[in-house]
Each structure stands twice: as C-alpha cells, then as structure tokens.
Amino acid sequence: MVRQRGVRLRADRRGAGVTDLLHSETAAHVVDDLFDRIDALDRPEIFVDLRPREDVRRDHAASIAAGGPLAGRILVVKNNVDVAGLPTTAACPGFGRIAATDAPAVAALTSAGAVVLGTTNLDQFATGLVGTRSPHGAVRDSRRPEFISGGSSSGSAVAVALGVADIAIGTDTAGSGRIPAALQGIVGIKPTIGVVSTEGVVPACASYDCVTILARDVATADAAMAAMAAAGGPRPFPADLPLAAPAVPVVAVPADLPAMDGAWRDAFQDAIARCRDLGWTVREIPIDHFLAAAALLYDGALVAERYDAVGEYVDEALSDHRVGALDSTVATIISAAGRFSAVDLLADRRRVTELRTAAMAHVEGCDAMVVPTAPFHPSIAEVAADPVATNARMGTYTNFCNLFDLAAIAVPADPSTTVTVAQRSSASPCWPRHTTTRSSSTSPGGSSATTRRPPAGPRRWPRRSISPSSAHTCAASRWTTS
C-alpha cells in the first residue's frame, strides 16, 4: 500500500535529524515517533509517497540488527529515482510506473543500512531550480514558508532540513542538488558525471545528470556518498589521482559577481576574507567563460536532451489536453526543446568544449575555486511573477559545473554566506567532486565547495576533512569548483 502524506515540523525541531532526536529510543519507537511527527505536520508538498509504517518499522529493525555505516538512518528519495514498490513519476501523475527494483544508487544506500521512508516532490521532470514547478504544490522553505525551497531536489532538501530524514537522494544537472542544499542550510554533494550509476533515474539531460546526496552535516553526507559510490557508474578513477590538497592551497575566486544580491555579495566577500585568514592564497580570475557555458544549458541546443527524455510524453499530453498533470512552465521548456537539430546540438557541444578549455586555463595552478552557490533567495511570489528569468538567475553559478565535468560539495561555511570551493588538477577530469552551500533564514547566502575525490579501494570515497565552521576548507581531498 502506498500513502500520500504531508509534512510540517515544529520550529524547535528544525535541524535535528531523526537519529539524533531519537537516539535513546528503541528501533520501533523511532519509526512510530517519526510517523507521529509526520502526521502532525502541515507540509503536504514535501512527499509524493510514503511507505507503510509497518514496512519502515520492519526495515529499520533489520537495519539496526545488521549494522552498517548507515544503520538506522532514515532516507528519502527524489521521485525521479526508482524505489521498489513505489511509483516513479518525476512529479508528473500519469507519466510514471511502479518501480520493480531499487535504482542502484538507492540499493547501495540501503545495503549500507539506510531505511527508505518514501519519495519526495521535485520540480517536474527535474526541470527547475526553484522547487515550485510541481502539481503536488510548491515546496516551501523550511524556515520562511513564503520563500522557495530551491530545486529541483526540493522535497529532499526540506525533508532533511526539517529533520524528517537523515539523508536524501537528489539529482543534479544544473544545480538541482546544490541550490536547495544552499537555501536550506544543509550539505549537498554532487559527484563527477558517471561516477555513480544513473540507472533507474528518469533522465533530464542524460549526458549531464548526476545522483546526489543531501544531509544535515558533512560527516553524514560523507558516509552516505561513500556508500552510494558503490553503485558505480561507467567511469573509472585514474590511477594517478592526488589524494589531498596542499597544506596551503591556492584558490581561484571570481573577479566579478554578476547577478548577486548586494547583501549576498558582501557575505561572499566575507567568506573570501576568511579564506585569506586561513592562510590560503586567493587569486581573482575572470569568469566570463564559466557564465557563457552556464547560459548554454537552457538557452542553447543542449536542452534538446530534455525533449529526448520526455518530450514525446509532454507533446502527447498537450495535444490530448491532459494539461492538468503538467506544470505549464516545464511543459513549455521541454516541448520547445524539440525544435533543435542534431547540427545545433553538435555546435553547442563543441562550444562547451571551447569554453571549458578557456575557463580551465584561468584556474591552472589553483587547487580550488570558490564561487557563490546561489545569488539570492527569491520568494514564491517573485518566482510566480517571472518563473523563467528567476530560475535562470538561480543557476548563474551552478549551471556550468556538469558542463565542465566538475564535482561539487555544498557545505555550511557560515550562517550568512554561500560560496563554492572547488579543486582542480592536471589529472583526468573524471574524478568525483562535491559542492557545498549554506544559508540562514534571514541572512544572505551560504557557501559551497566542489571537490574531486578518489576511492579508497574500488569505488570507495576516501575520508575528507571539511570544516562546517565559519570557513569552508578542503584539506583532505581533491577539489574542483562550480
């Protein structure tokens, strides 16, 4: 049996994970308390489906008994990723089907002890960075419900931020695992393309899609990403991958910050000042090539991959006037993407390669790059007034990451700043990376970092040292910015 549920959590519980809040209770009481809390909430937009209480209780008890790095951790999964026995709809009722098996990324986490609670809402077909493009309703910010959650992994981020889940699976093509992490003040990790399997994931742009992890803190996110990396994708790790940044890293930062809200700009500059205080060498670079690539993701022919993924369904639904299941903005974007030719797509891919070559030349000799994750935090009303332009602005500093084959980690650096730190090296670009973001309910920004990390053995992620303090660091991993 599948149930649809709503979520609201009292403000005094925000930020405390399920395991932390309930550490003194028995396994059965943990699940019962969790469901009782969910029953008391008023956030129907967070979940698409919940598993029956009895099934979660059984799996949780088995997880505790068996042990494992994620034993007893409550997991929620973005509804474009298969969970056995639940519909995978990508937030489009009528599109999906009941998943016969877990996606490899989900199976890797449950094998490590995570317990699936249910599936979460998203910007339909993972097309958006705002969290409002869903027939299940706009996912509201965890602290200020008149503001957006960020997307497209909106329900996953808010579930973690409100303490309804310990860890969450998201996906990321243009920033969908990093933007909501930033706006919700949690950790978001996006590996390199191809490092984690995307089998069992409804594609957005298949060439650039990644499965991501969201969690409240770096240690939990790190453990979850280490486990999920067992679901290896098609790309091997290079044998000569460096395992750590130098003791005194050289970080690249943007010389200009277009599209940034004024207060967020100031907060970002404060974060860079903390980098200098840590003894890092900070080098300003032009970011024109990064931003030019970012614009291509939606404004050029690369968006044709979204039509390839679900365009026929969207066009048929529009022609049959079955528009109730479609978000109008998403339907317009995907249907229009069918206009591009193969020649257009090849030309834009060639342009991305040219821009990447030029951009990477600017960070040559740098160990990391620090950029904002999100340039501002709009209200739901602001998005409704101009959904396309607002969404485009949200992706200013995230869209280029997958196009340039970078990994990223978004981690809390300060309650009032959002930046991205990334590390680059001359070795193969297929290493995994992460992005980090943090923001508070009333202050601008957060910070994010992107890294490349090798496995400690086949498909295993090594431990890294990232401080969730007022400064973001990358002391024990390989980093790349986005």
Q: Which residues are catalytic?
A: 78, 152, 176
Compute the C-alpha angle 352/373/165, nearest 5°.
115
> What distance in Å separates the CA atoms of residue 303 and residue 403, rounded to the nearest whole number?
12
**Cα–Cα distance for residue pair 272/435, rounded to 1 Å:** 16
State phi, psi for 374 to the nearest 5 degrees: -120, 140
DSSP readout, 327-366? -HHHHHHHHHGGG--HHHHHHHHHHHHHHHHHHHHHTTT-
Q: Identify the three-state secondary structure at position 210.
A: strand
Q: Which residue has the tokens 């995907």?
A: 334
User: Computed over its alpha carbons, how large is the radius of gyration of the chain?
Assistant: 20
Phi and psi at residue 437, in whole multiples of 5°? Answer: -145, 150
CA distance 437 to 286: 22
Residue whose structure tokens are 């984690």:
196
Rounded distance between C-alpha atoms, residue 45 and residue 23, angstroms? 28
- Cα–Cα distance, 407 to 398 (Å, whole number): 11
CA distance 31 to 54: 9
> Distance between CA atoms of 469 and 160, rounded to whole angstroms?
19
DSSP 303: G
> Which residues on neighbouring strands pair with residue 270, listed in sequence order?
none
SS (H, E, C) 92-145: CCCCCEECCCCCHHHHHHHHCCCEEEEEECCCHHHCCCCCCCCCCCCCECCCCC
Short-list 88, 2, 6, CA closest to 47: 6
